[in-house]
Chains A and B, each alone.
Chain A
Amino acid sequence: MSDSESENEQRLTLEDLEGSDAEMLSGDEDGPMDILTQQRVTINNEPALKRLREQIALPTNIPWSETQSITSAQAINVTDPDDDLNREVAFYNQALEAAVLGRDRIRKEGGVFERPSDYFAEMIKTDDHMAKIRQRLLDENASIEASERAKSQRELKKFGKKVQTEKRLEREKSKADALDKITALKKKRQGNDNSTNADDDFDVALASDDDEMKSYKTGDGESKKRSSSSTQESRGKRHKKDQKFGFGGKKRFGKSNDANSSADVSGFSVKRNKSTSFKSGHKAHKAGGAKGGAAKQRPGKGRRQNGAGRK
């Protein structure tokens, strides 16, 4: 069943074509063959294709509803086949156009297009499958919402933290400023203690209407440091503790003698040394907490630790 322009094998070289008519081999759309290179001849037997089509074609006078096929008005022209979005949009538009035209033609030819809502029949996808699809959509929506909520919470936290730190810094700054003002004024006052200054009576700086200054003047609020409840006792205790635990100074050899302490004979009284009746025994000491002798009794541990008196 070979037609006049039917083709032959692929991979012909020029030597094979020596004897034959080169024009007979122009099955390709692009002209005569390249003389120099070996070229693959592919087959595109257009008359045969036309004949085959006419052989199988349905008659043209049948009503459209037999085949229900619609050809689009515009050819699809997608530049990049890997560009999924544009390609699918093109397919969608083509199908949509066909659906609209098809509906019109069906209605014109008297057929029924829409499925009424109470028509129940077997569908291509089972109800279970549709339930799975629906579940998947719901899960997707839920996860999107959850992630959005988490994101907004994170943002709020960051924002809240920022506001908190800003406020704290502001408060500390104002406190430092107020203290500076007070110490400056104190210094000024001390310097001008002898001279009577008429300005003191008016005391402009301290009498300002600043809120911070007010709080420091009246002594209420958070400033416990400036309270006047520092007694002799608490000052001594603080001093002792600073000596023991504060910075600087020797702490390790506090109980051993150094040059000054061994040379210190202030705790020795000749009279006391000679007066005790039973020198070696300790019955006199044990007898009572009464003071035996002019020298002062060593204070108890508590008083010693709290720094009562000197050392």
Chain B
Amino acid sequence: MSTVFKQQKSKRDKAEGIVAKTTEDTPIFRNKQRVLLLSSRGITSRHRHLLSDLGDLLPHTKKDAKLDSKSKLHIINELAELNNCNNCIFFEVRKRQDLYMWLSKTPNGPSVKFHIQNVHTMEELKMTGNCLKGSRHILSFDKNFESSPHWLLMKELFTQVFGIPKTARRIKPFVDHVISFSIVDNRIWFRNYQITEKPLEHRSVTDTTDLTLVEIGPRFVMNPIRVFDGSFGGQTAFENPEFVSPNVARANVRNSKAGRYKSRMEAIAKKDEKIKDAEMPEDPLSESNVFA
């Protein structure tokens, strides 16, 4: 809404002859990113907590209501436009079990669909770190991200979506946590650590630095499925050949269990046939024929 107002205002100003202020000759690029956080209906509690954790971590986000339809995803583009966002994280939950995450640059940029596994939210008591709500973090990328163009594209997306711009409203000063993305087993692993300085007493000889990391959470694993040309649709630019849909995986497990019964029945049928084939004609010299 604010962009519409500004547009009308500048039009009116121009019409009235007011010259817009130019502060400098060369425009300073300001990194303006705003992320829309959405989910579909049928989201489970763990995934809901993950979404709210991401909203807490990233102060340049805006949470929106649940999206009704799972097929007409292009309306998300309009929602983002309404909310003045140029990025979107959309959690699509299927069968109340499988979580898919869409990451997209909304008006017409590329989008990526991931399958999320191994979700641990910030609430888990084993993760003991803590940080300021809204402090700008350091992003850490694995060198594997530079090995292929699809990884490079995802790295760029992460930098813009998960990297907090200086112009965000709810940021706090100081840097006290680092978010890391690593590639292992063709998947992207997400970790969030708090940076603390070790006091002199606890430092040992083998330490190279005085900093220690404590995990804050959340942590999850992203398995890329497809990279699309447009936002929530368009031509596929990359398809992950190793991706196995969770439905297919579950079906395989069930079929293997059924396969045991099937193979046993087949073996019995084969045995019956074999016995039947092995029947020989009556031998005229057999005992029953000679001593009738």
Residues of A within 8 A of B (CB): 1-2, 6-7, 40, 42-46, 48-50, 52-53, 55-59, 62, 65-76, 78, 81, 87, 90-92, 94-100, 102-103, 106, 111-115, 119, 121-125, 129-130, 132-133, 136-137
Contact = CB atoms under 8 A, between A and B. Distances in A.
Given A48-B237, A73-B143, A132 B125 contact: yes
B238 A115 contact: no
B229 A1 contact: yes
A81 B184 contact: yes
Contacts of B241: 40, 42
Contact of A114 (B125, B160, B189, B197): B197
Given A49-B238, A58-B160, A123-B132, A95 B140 contact: yes
A125 to B, nearest CB: 5
Interface of B: 29, 31, 56-57, 105, 109-110, 122-123, 125, 128, 130-147, 149-150, 152-153, 156-157, 159-160, 163, 165-166, 172-176, 178, 180, 182-185, 187, 189, 191, 193, 195, 197, 209, 211-213, 216, 227, 229, 234-241
Contacts of A40: 241
Given A43-B237, A45-B238, 9 more contacts: A1-B235, A49-B237, A72-B142, A94-B140, A96-B209, A98-B178, A99-B178, A121-B172, A136-B125
A114 B149 contact: no
A223 B216 CA distance: 75
B129 to A, nearest CB: 8
A66 B31 contact: yes
A123 B130 contact: yes
Nearest to B240: A42
A107 to B, nearest CB: 10
A129 B182 CA distance: 28
B277 to A, nearest CB: 34
B185 to A, nearest CB: 4
B143 A71 contact: yes
A129 to B, nearest CB: 7
Nearest to B170: A122
16 contacts: A44-B238, A48-B235, A50-B152, A55-B110, A58-B156, A68-B139, A71-B141, A71-B145, A76-B183, A94-B182, A95-B180, A98-B139, A98-B178, A113-B174, A113-B175, A115-B132
A115 B175 CA distance: 7
B141 A69 contact: yes
Contact of A72 (B57, B131, B140, B209): B140
Contacts of A46: 149
B139 A69 contact: yes
A70 B212 CA distance: 18
B229 to A, nearest CB: 6
A76 B142 contact: yes
Given A48-B229, A76-B184, A124 B131 contact: yes
